[in-house]
């Protein structure tokens, strides 16, 4: 199941516009803040798909029956660009366990690259709901490899793959290379073009650099 949140008008589109804007991008604090806000908004949308149970809540005047989460999802982020986005999810799912995957592009002499996974830190995810945050889906390879790496920590009951900005090629790659059952894909918006260097156009640039500074 693929959910494209920009297909309906909401405040999500405002924040996507700001993270794309080259003038707004000059303020890294604001850029990180916008990624965090988008994480909160995505978390709200995904929360509608989770399981709830009624709980008695004692108020000063009586007892209220309130539907609350049966269990909190495990939140996974792909480093480093995924950190502010992940924080937005954690603001909403504040009792969640967390996982982190270090993935990077390893460039070769012919200017091609492969995605390398350095390590993953995760709790037991067997039978749990997993939310995997990858701020941008260019080729889609990092999300697929990170998902497979996390499976060494258990098989989740359901996985939500979440990205703010995706190329159509990256989205198609996820559809081809992820299981057809118990996977939901959530993207803010989809751009049609992916360059030979695997940059999304019009995209927004390098989210990790914009959030934390350029790397060597």
pLDDT, residue 3, reads 96
Mean pLDDT of the chain: 93
pLDDT, residue 198, reads 84
CATH number where 185 lies: 3.40.50.2020
pTM for the predicted model, two decimal places = 0.92
Rounded Cα distance between 95 and 72, Å, is 7
Q: Please say whether the beta carbons of 93 and 99 come within 8 A.
A: no
Range in 17-26, 40-49, 109-118 with the lowest mean pLDDT = 109-118
Q: Which residue has the higher pLDDT, 82 or 88?
A: 88
Q: Quick check: 4 pLDDT over 60? A: yes
- Name the DSSP class of 22: T
Rounded Cα distance between 4 and 19, Å, is 17
pLDDT, residue 97, reads 98
Q: Please say whether the beta carbons of 116 and 143 come within 8 A.
A: no
Three-state DSSP class for residue 146: helix
Q: Quick check: 194 pLDDT over 60? A: yes
Beta-strand ranges (E) seen in the chain are 2-4, 52-58, 63-69, 74-79, 98-107, 113-121, 129-133, 136-137, 158-167, 183-191, 193-194, 200-201
Mean pLDDT for 139-154 is: 93
pLDDT, residue 107, reads 61
For residue 79, what are the β-bridge partners?
102
Q: Exposed, middle or buried by CB within 10 Å (0-12, 13-18, 19+), for 62?
A: exposed
Rounded Cα distance between 105 and 115, Å, is 5
pLDDT, residue 5, reads 96
Q: Per-residue pLDDT tens for 92-131? A: 999 999 999 987 666 656 656 566 788 889 999 999 999 9
Cβ of 117: how many Cβ atoms within 10 Å? 15
Q: Which residues constitute the domain of residue 52?
A: 2-212
pLDDT, residue 51, reads 97
Q: Please say whether the beta carbons of 82 and 136 come within 8 A.
A: no
Q: Per-residue pLDDT tens for 128-144? A: 999 999 999 999 999 99
- Provide the domain count of the chain: 1
Q: Per-residue pLDDT tens for 171-191? A: 999 999 999 899 999 999 999
């Amino acid at each position: 199941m693929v959910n494209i949140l920009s297909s309906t008008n909401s405040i999500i589109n405002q924040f996507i516009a700001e993270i794309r804007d080259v003038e707004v991008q000059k303020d890294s604090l604001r850029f990180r803040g916008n990624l965090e806000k988008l994480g909160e908004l995505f978390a709200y949308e995904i929360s509608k798909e989770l399981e709830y149970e009624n709980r008695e809540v004692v108020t000063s005047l009586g007892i209220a029956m309130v539907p609350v989460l049966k269990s909190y999802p495990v939140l996974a982020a792909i480093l480093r660009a995924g950190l502010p986005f992940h924080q937005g999810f954690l603001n909403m799912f504040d009792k969640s366990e967390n996982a982190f995957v270090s993935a990077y592009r390893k460039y070769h002499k012919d200017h091609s690259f492969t995605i390398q996974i350095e390590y993953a830190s995760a709790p037991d995810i067997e039978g749990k709901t997993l939310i995997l945050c990858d701020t941008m889906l260019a080729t889609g390879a990092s999300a697929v490899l990170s998902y497979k790496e996390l499976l060494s920590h258990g098989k989740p009951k359901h996985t939500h793959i979440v990205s703010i900005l995706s190329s159509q090629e990256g989205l198609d790659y996820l559809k081809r290379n992820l299981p057809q059952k118990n996977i939901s894909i959530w993207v803010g918006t989809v751009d049609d073009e992916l360059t030979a260097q695997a940059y999304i156009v019009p995209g927004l640039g390098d989210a990790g650099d914009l959030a934390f500074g350029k790397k060597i």
